[in-house]
Amino acid sequence: MRPVGLSDLDLAARIVMSVPSDKQLSFIAQLLDDAHASDLWRKRHGTTHPSGGTGSLYAQAALYHVTMEEHIDRVYYTSLGVVLQGLEAWYKRNHKVP
């Protein structure tokens, strides 16, 4: 997966907000795995993944519908925490490709 920046975190948190709370951690784990797979595709084929974009978390999250609200509240901060928790777990995994 490409390096994660603030815009990646923001959009992912806004997407996570729309997911039921009991499914948020598994959703972000899948989103990160999909971004990683798209990045591997990009590196191997020299082009963006046909359905997954460039391999960034932002590109992967952009595949989902999100309502961009100016208002930031506790729900957003909680969702951002889920994204950060998911990233921490993802980076601790072994992602070697055979």
pLDDT tens, N- to C-terminus, the chain (98 residues) = 999 999 999 999 999 999 999 999 999 999 999 999 999 999 999 998 888 789 999 999 999 988 677 777 899 999 999 999 999 999 888 665 54
pLDDT at 89: 93
pTM of the predicted model, to two decimals? 0.88
List of residues 6+ apart from 53 with CB closer than 8 A = 38, 59, 60, 62, 63
Quote the mean pLDDT of the chain.
Answer: 90
Distance of CA 87 to the CA centre of its chain: 8
pLDDT at 53: 81
